[in-house]
Amino acid sequence: MREADLRAWMQAALEARGVSVDPESLPVQQLRAVLRRLEALDGVDVSSEEPGPLRWDGP
Partner 1 sequence: MSLADLTLTQAADAIRKGDVSPVEVVEAVLDRALRVQPVLRPFLWLDPDRVRDEARRRAQEVPGGLLHGVPVTLKDLIAERGAPFTCGSKLREGVVAEEDAEVTRRLRAAGAVLVGRAHLHEFAFGVSNENPHFGPARNPWDPERSPGGSSGGSAVAVATGCTYGSVGTDTGGSVRIPAALCGVVGIKPTYERVPRQGVFPLAPSLDHVGPLARTVEDVAVLLEVLAATPGRYTAALGEGLRGLRLGVPRGPYWEVLHPGVASCFQEALRCLEGEGARRVTVDFPWEAASAVATALLLVEAASVHAEFVRAQPNGYGPDVRDRLLVGLCLPAERYVQALRARRALAEASRQLWGSVDLVATPTVPIPAPRLGEAVTEVAGAHHDTRALLTRFTNPFNALGLPALSVPCGFADSLPVGLQLVGPPWEEARVLAAGAAYERARGRLPRPEV
Q: Are 28 and 34 in contact (CB under 8 A)?
A: no
What letter does residue 27 receive in the DSSP assignment? -
State yes or no: residue 1 binds partner 1 (CB under 8 A). Answer: no
Q: Measuring CA to CA, how many Å separate 22 from each of 14, 16, 18, 33, 51?
A: 11, 15, 13, 21, 35
State yes or no: residue 50 binds partner 1 (CB under 8 A). Answer: yes
Residues 20-39, interacting with partner 1 (CB under 8 A) = 20-21, 26-27, 30-31, 33-35, 37-39
State yes or no: residue 4 binds partner 1 (CB under 8 A). Answer: no
Residues that bind partner 1 (CB under 8 A): 10, 13-14, 17-21, 26-27, 30-31, 33-35, 37-41, 43-46, 48-54, 56-59
